[in-house]
Amino acid sequence: MRKSAPKRRILTPEALRSRLAALGLSQAAVAQEWSVSDDTVSRWMTGKTPIPGWVSYALDGVEHARIRKLATDRGYPWPPIGYNH
């Protein structure tokens, strides 16, 4: 049986601005990290251009990396015991 494709995650301009602010990331920083222009990020944040689905997953990766670093810096095992992802 063939697996269905994962459901596309829609990120609104407001949600993008909120997630970047929560992570302390600037438009310029994500543009450089993701190899897109500052203008592209600006258009996503103003709603002039749809935000690609991969952006949400990229932000998940940033959050995951920060959580992992915080945990390991404090001596917790990684992945956490019982973590099934």
pLDDT per residue over 28-55, tens digit each?
999 999 999 999 999 999 999 999 999 9
Total-model pTM: 0.74
Residue 27 contacts residue 39 (beta carbons within 8 Å):
no
**pLDDT band per the 50, 70, 90 thresholds, residue 68:** confident
pLDDT at 5 over 60: no
* Whether the predicted pLDDT of 3 surpasses 80: no
3-state DSSP call for residue 8?
coil
List the domain boundaries for the chain: 13-73
Taking domain 13-73, whether its CATH number is 1.20.5 is answered by no
